[in-house]
């Protein structure tokens, strides 16, 4: 699939994916969403040697400033539900991706942009970043998981305040409330993101994928997270990676994981 709204740059096994609609503040239109679906479902899983993905936005103002509201004007109740379900499915692809996905938030992350950042496994922001779910200003609610993930990260009290008032969080406040892993100037933020991906890539690939599964299970109402952990632990003990990791530990050397 040729990408027009995504720029893909591969560097040492790390894919930097830039949402590229700077004149529209990288708003998520249907084409961008389709490209994100294809990238995480079809493209990235087939790339050999992939260590992880860094998502960021083009330009100096926004990561993603929201959805493309013009496309909402043709919606009715059923079409609205279909759009929300499709959007959630795409963000689940990101959340469940077996390699680390880091959002590098370099400006406004509002509405769908905040939801996209929250679907990533880790989040690093520049000091100019702003986070919020302003949908109630339009007579809407978040549709791509915002009402659920914001509570998961911030807790019910603060999340309810932000969802009902449409207020924004500064980068420092987002860090203080646990939404972010770090706040750094742009160049340093990208370097940290790359270092984090590289650090995770040095671990057992199967173990990383199973850890992501177990973490996600905590928030799934129909899944027992403890049972998921038991199953995943058992699966990892039967891998060649575990035998290599254990041998390397005993022999006091760096493990050579094969993802098997």
Residues (pLDDT < 70) of the chain are: none
Supply the pLDDT for residue 103: 98
Decide if 89 contacts 53 (C-beta within 8 A): no
- Helices assigned H by DSSP within 101-256: 112-119, 146-154, 156-165, 171-176, 186-201, 205-217, 225-237, 240-251
Catalytic residues: 115, 135
The number of CA neighbours under 13 Å toward the Cβ of 240 is 5
Supply the pLDDT for residue 183: 98
Supply the pLDDT for residue 172: 98
Supply the pLDDT for residue 84: 94
Decide if 196 contacts 184 (C-beta within 8 A): no
**pTM: predicted TM-score of the whole model, two decimal places:** 0.94
What are the domain boundaries of the chain? 6-200, 203-251
The number of CA neighbours under 13 Å toward the Cβ of 27 is 11
CATH code of the domain occupying 6-200 = 3.90.226.10
Alpha carbon separation from 123 to 82, 86, 245, 255 (Å, rounded): 28, 23, 28, 28
């Amino acid at each position: 699939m040729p990408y027009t709204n995504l720029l893909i740059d591969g560097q040492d096994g790390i894919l930097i994916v830039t949402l590229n609609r700077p004149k529209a503040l990288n708003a998520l239109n249907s084409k961008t969403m389709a490209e994100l679906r294809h990238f995480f479902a079809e493209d990235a899983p087939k790339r050999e040697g992939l260590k992880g993905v860094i998502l960021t936005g083009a330009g100096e103002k926004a990561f993603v400033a929201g959805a493309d509201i013009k496309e909402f004007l043709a919606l009715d109740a059923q079409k609205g539900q279909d759009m929300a379900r499709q959007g959630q499915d795409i963000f689940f692809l990101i959340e469940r991706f077996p390699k680390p996905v880091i959002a590098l938030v370099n400006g406004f992350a509002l509405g769908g942009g905040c939801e996209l950042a929250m679907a990533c496994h880790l989040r690093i922001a520049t000091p100019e970043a702003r986070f919020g779910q302003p949908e109630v200003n339009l007579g809407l609610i978040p549709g791509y998981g915002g009402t659920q993930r914001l509570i998961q990260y911030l807790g019910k009290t603060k999340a309810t305040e932000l969802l009902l008032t449409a207020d924004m969080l500064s980068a420092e406040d987002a860090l203080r409330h646990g939404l972010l892993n770090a706040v750094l100037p742009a160049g340093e933020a990208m370097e940290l993101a790359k270092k984090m991906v590289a650090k995770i890539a040095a671990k057992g690939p199967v173990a990383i994928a199973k850890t992501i599964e177990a973490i996600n299970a905590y928030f799934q109402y129909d899944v027992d997270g403890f049972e998921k952990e038991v199953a995943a632990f058992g699966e990892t003990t039967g891998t060649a990676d575990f035998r290599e990791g254990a041998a390397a530990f005993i022999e006091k050397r760096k493990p050579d994981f094969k993802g098997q």
